A and B are shown apart, each in its own frame.
Chain A
Amino acid sequence: MELKRTPLYESHLAYKARMVEFGGWEMPVQYSSLLEEHNAVRTAAGLFDISHMGRFMVAGPDALAFLQYIATCDVAKIEAGMANYGLLCDEQGGIVDDIFIYKLPESYLVVVNASNRSKDWEWFQKHAAQFNVSLEDASDRWAMLALQGPRSEEILASIPEVVVNDLAGLPFHGVVGASIYGDDAALIARTGYAGEDGFELFFDSSKAALVWDELLKAGADFGLKPAGLGARDSLRFEPGLALYGHEIDADINPYEARLGWVVKLDKGDFVGREALKQIKEAGPQRRLAGFEMVGRGIARGGYAVHNLEGEPIGHVTTGMPAPSFGNKALGIALVQTAYSKEGSEFDVIIREKPVRARVVKYPFYKPRYKK
């Protein structure tokens, strides 16, 4: 299959990115060094091309009713100019995708994972039949950049071509109309997925390369670096932000994934509600646990987890040497609930050998969002 490319493909090459396949897309995994890019986001700022993600517009009289029906969160509680994290679940309570819902003046914008874009679009269309809504796949019309890190606000505020009313006053998860390099229909949201303050920018895809270059130029003095999917993964891993295909998937339910807070069973009917209610009442059989390696070795996604008697109890969903913790080997595992408590010990099977690991406080990194 031909890999898809974002409008910034040529820019990534110009910035000497190493390109890799991700969810059917040819994307930059790193530019200079994953560690440098990770540290830039934690201490200054990083710029990510996330145009590969899906952007669906939902409008019409039943827009709210439709989203209430397909999402697990309470969409009615999202105020205009705000965004919320949500899940799409199937009838069995398995996770179809995790999403962000932005409430705009006349419509909702839903951002979905790149790897699930076509599956989600079909899911939306299938369930829209019984509602008076209009759906638009605006993914290609808009480019999307994530400017993440503690200096993001200073950087945006320093650019005269980015015009937005009261950027400093934009709250965590707020979204506002903006003008970005002449695109007067752009959006700026105080959202992101790195566990830091930061913004996501939505603007006309024809301006993608211009905005990318100008932001990096303007941000250079603040320590801004282009950042790839490698850093995006380590940055989301440390604060325990789920990645589809790892911590969440069609055969993992929200309670197992410690995302019960995203499921509002009392908001009315929605897809998966009955199954989720039963799962919650019975208690999840498995649960995500954050662990540190006690023995020498690095756990990686997919490695088996055994109890101390050698019986299989689950698997690692993500693991790596965590850059914000001096490259300490940390991991997240989906294990039988009894083994998910802080202090529990189990073995991760690394190259066929059991290596001891201990469950620690999760998430590892406390996010530093705008208060």
Chain B
Amino acid sequence: MAFQTPENLKYLNSHEWARFEGEEVVIGITDYAQDSLGDVVYLELPEVGATFAAGDLFGAIESVKAASDLFMPVGGTVVAVNTDLLNDQSPINTDPYGQGWMLRIAPVEGGEDKLLDAAAYKEYVDSIAH
């Protein structure tokens, strides 16, 4: 199966993506992650103003069959939360890199060494997928 891994994003091997947009970073989960989970039916996200270090647990996402933790690709302060997703999680499955975005972060330096580029993440997914 071919999963989308857009070139302009950075990734964690726990399947979160980060898109650097000027002063801010947008965060979500990857196409592979949404496909593995199946239909997402529950999401827990932090509040605006919460601060995290890169690699911190920031929330949880669940489908009928599984629960999964969400980890921060970068450190920083949450400046916006996609609250639409709290009522309807389906964009995470249908548009994981667009309408399925989760957080917008004002980043701080540090901890970026865990980030993979698209090629490295794609290679990782190929190695764990059938």
Chain A residues packing against B (C-beta within 8 Å): 18-19, 29-30, 33-35, 38, 230, 233-234, 296-298, 300, 320-321, 323, 327, 329, 351
Residues of A within 8 A of B41 (CB): 321, 327
**A to B CB contacts below 8 Å, 9 in the list:** A29-B65, A30-B65, A33-B38, A297-B44, A298-B67, A321-B64, A327-B41, A329-B42, A351-B60
Q: Smallest CB–CB gap between A294 and chain B, Å? A: 15
| Shortest Cβ gap from A207 to chain B (Å) | 26
Interface contact A34-B130, CB-CB below 8 Å: no
Known interface pairs A34-B65, A233-B65, A351-B60. Does A298 touch B42 (Cβ–Cβ under 8 Å)?
A: yes
How far is it, in angstroms, between the C-alpha of A351 and the C-alpha of B57 when the chains are bound? 11
Q: A34-B64, A300-B67, A327-B64 are in contact. Are A19 and B130 (CB under 8 A)?
A: yes
A321 close to B38 (CB less than 8 A): no
B109 to chain A, nearest CB (A): 28
CB-based contact A298/B39 at 8 Å = no
Question: What string of 1s and 0s marks CB contacts (under 8 Å) between B53-81 and chain A?
Answer: 00000001011110101000000000000
* Central interface residue in B38, B63, B64, B65, by most chain A CB within 10 Å: B64
Among B44, B64, B69, point to the contact of A230 (Cβ < 8 A): B64
- Provide the residues of chain B in CB contact with A33, threshold 8 Å: 38-39
Do B62 and A298 touch across chains, with their CB atoms under 8 A apart?
yes
Please give, as numbers and ranges, the residues of chain A lying within 8 Å of B69 by CB-CB distance. 351
User: How far does the alpha carbon of A320 sit from the alpha carbon of B67 in the complex, in Å?
Assistant: 9
Complex CA–CA separation, A233 to B64 (angstroms): 10
Distance of A118 from chain B, by nearest CB (Å): 26
The CA of A297 and the CA of B69, in the complex, are separated in Å by 13
Contact between A320 and B39, CB atoms less than 8 A apart: no
A230 near B62: Cβ-Cβ < 8 Å: no
What are the residues of chain A within 8 A of B60 when measuring CB–CB?
351
A30 — which chain B residues lie within 8 A by C-beta?
38, 65
Chain B residue with minimal CB distance to A300?
Answer: B67
- In the complex, what residues of B have CB within 8 A of residue A329's CB? 42
How many of B's residues come within 8 Å of A, CB to CB?
14
Given A298-B42, A327-B41; A35-B130 close (CB under 8 Å) = no
> Which of B38, B60, B130 has the most CB atoms of chain A within a 10 A radius of its CB?
B38
Measured between beta carbons, the chain A residues less than 8 angstroms from B42 are 297-298, 321, 327, 329
Given contacts A19-B130, A351-B60, contact A320 B38 (CB under 8 A): no
Name A322's closest neighbour in chain B (CB-CB).
Answer: B64
A230 touches B65 (CB 8 A): yes
Cβ contacts under 8 Å, A18 to chain B: 36
Interface residues in B16-70 (C-beta closer than 8 Å to A): 36, 38-39, 41-42, 44, 60, 62-65, 67, 69
Cα distance A184–B42 in the bound complex, in angstroms: 49
| B residues less than 8 Å from A296 (CB atoms) | 44
The CA-CA distance from A359 to B112 in the complex, in Å, is 46
13 additional A-B residue pairs with CB within 8 Å, beyond A230-B65, A320-B65 = A30-B38, A30-B65, A33-B38, A34-B39, A35-B38, A38-B64, A297-B44, A298-B42, A298-B62, A320-B64, A321-B42, A327-B41, A351-B60
CA distance A63 to B68 in the complex (A): 48
Cα-based distance from A162 to B24 in the complex (angstroms): 63
CA distance A38 to B44 in the complex (A): 25
Residues of A within 8 A of B44 (CB): 296-297
Cβ contact within 8 Å between B62 and A35:
no
Contact yes or no, B67 A35, CB < 8 A: no
Contacts of A300 in B (CB 8 A): 67
Complex-state Cα separation, A327 to B41, whole angstroms:
7
B37 to chain A: closest residue by CB: A34
CA–CA, A234 to B62, complex, Å? 14
> Are A230 and B67 in contact (CB-based, < 8 A)?
no
The distance in angstroms between the C-alpha atoms of A229 and B110, with both chains bound, is 42
Determine whether the beta carbon of B38 is less than 8 Å from that of A230.
yes
Once the chains are docked, how many angstroms separate the CA of A300 from the CA of B60?
Answer: 13
- Our pick among B36, B62, B64 for the contact of A323 (Cβ within 8 Å) is B64
Measured between beta carbons, the chain A residues less than 8 angstroms from B62 are 298, 321
Q: How far is the CB of A324 from chain B (nearest CB, A)?
A: 11
- In the assembly, what is the distance between CA of A29 and CA of B36, in Å? 10
Give B30 Cβ to nearest chain A Cβ, in Å. 16
- Smallest Cβ-Cβ distance to B65: which chain A residue: A230
In the complex formed, the residue of B with least CB distance to A17 is: B130
Residues in chain A near residue B39, CB distance under 8 A:
33-35
